[in-house]
Amino acid sequence: MQFIDQVKVYVKAGDGGRGCISFRREKYVPKGGPNGGDGGRGGHIIFRAVRDLNTLLDIKYQQQYNAERGQHGMGKDMHGKNGEDMVIPVPIGTVIKDIETEEVLSDLITDGQEFIAAQGGRGGLGNTHFKTATRQAPRFAQPGEPGGERTLLLELKLLADVGLIGLPNAGKSTLISILSAAKPRIADYPFTTLVPVLGVVKHEDFKSVVIADIPGLIEGAHKGVGLGFQFLRHVERTSILLHLVDISEMAEGDPVENFEKINKELELYSPELMEKPMAVAGTKLDIKGNGKRLDRLVRYCKNKGCDFFPICAVTGKGIRELMIYLGKKVEKLKL
């Protein structure tokens, strides 16, 4: 399934039905009074968070939604039928914004949570309501009110406990495939992961933890370079960031400089991201060479106060310790 995490939609709630102008017409009642019924309310446009969805793909291909209008009032004081509400299912984690003001209107983060994006128009009053002692045969009624309409921007921000970040080919996809049942695309070239991937880590020592593999960031990601810019929003909800740094002898660049490059991109995108707890994993331990790159990263993390884990996905070394650390850390942060 194609992963779509941002889409623009136009929504139009139903108009209210107009009130009825009617009078009693009965045998032996030559001057029956007014009996026009009220119009029905127009249908609302409602967004509902649904656990079974994980993409905005369906909405991308239907970007205009119109709810049913209310039925007009009828004689004999009969109220028009209300228009049926239009309920649009969206994934949990969907943020709804006004596209003109960029104001966040709603953040749907729980299963079944709803947001009325456009109110249906109120139905007009029938002429029955306008009868008075001096105006016993009113020949007018109210029109229905128009339904609300607006253009919205829907953004999906994945709900995950741990966000995996790092340069392309740092080993994020391999790690999430080892820790969980997720099956991301894995290859020995950069940008093999083109969309975020979620995996659930289960262990007897802690409750399940959701991990998000964010596609590789590169320098300039906050400006739209590479793939990072469009997916950085998915790390905003995470409890902890796990930064993967390639410490193998074949890796390009200095490991500390690579680490700082990604942190700089996070800070430029949103300074709040740098306030999140962060741990570091040195990957590809099995081909660390003389170990100088590893030692340099260890010293750096110690000076910065970052928890550090040397790991190897191929041999499994350090994986269990990292998994237990993440589980315990997430539980502690959620208290």
* Tens-place pLDDT, residues 146-164: 999 999 999 988 778 888 8
Question: Both 140 and 236 in a single domain?
Answer: no
What's 123's domain CATH number? 2.70.210.12
Question: Both 192 and 263 in a single domain?
Answer: yes
Question: Both 172 and 132 in a single domain?
Answer: no
Question: Both 191 and 317 in a single domain?
Answer: yes
176 within domain boundaries: yes
Spans of the chain, pLDDT less than 70: 1-3, 181-196, 206, 216-231, 335
| DSSP 8-class letter at 225 | -
Question: Both 181 and 65 in a single domain?
Answer: no
253 within domain boundaries: yes
Question: Both 139 and 206 in a single domain?
Answer: no
Question: Both 82 and 176 in a single domain?
Answer: no
pLDDT of residue 158: 77
Question: Both 148 and 174 in a single domain?
Answer: no
1 within domain boundaries: no
Tokens of 300: 């750096």
114 within domain boundaries: yes
In the block, residue with structure tokens 């009617």: 22
Total residue length of the chain: 335
How far apart (Å, rounded) are the C-alpha atoms in residues 132 and 166? 75
Strand-pair category, 197-203 with 206-213:
antiparallel
pLDDT of residue 202: 75
Question: Both 146 and 282 in a single domain?
Answer: no
Question: Both 272 and 138 in a single domain?
Answer: no
3-state secondary structure of 308: strand
Cβ neighbours of residue 187 under 8 Å, at least 6 residues apart?
none
Question: Both 287 and 328 in a single domain?
Answer: yes
Contact 45, 65 (CB under 8 A): yes
Domain boundary among 125, 156, 187: 156
How far apart (Å, rounded) are the C-alpha atoms in residues 118 and 156? 20
Q: Write the DSSP assignment of 69-126 as a string of letters.
A: PPPPPBTTTBPPPPPPPEEEEEETTEEEEETTT--EEEEE-STT-EEEEEPPPPPPPP
Cβ neighbours of residue 82 under 8 Å, at least 6 residues apart?
40, 41, 42, 43, 70, 71, 120, 123
What's 231's domain CATH number? 3.40.50.300
Neighbours of 213 (CB within 10 A): 28
How many structural domains are present in the chain? 2
pLDDT of residue 190: 44
Domain boundary among 109, 141, 156: 156
166 within domain boundaries: yes
Residue whose C-alpha is closest to residue 36's, from 131, 147, 159:
131
Domain boundary among 124, 156, 188: 156
Edge-to-edge order in the sheet of strand 64-66: 64-66, 6-12, 149-156, 94-98, 104-108
Question: Both 171 and 250 in a single domain?
Answer: yes
Domain that holds residue 294: 162-334
pLDDT of residue 187: 45
311 within domain boundaries: yes
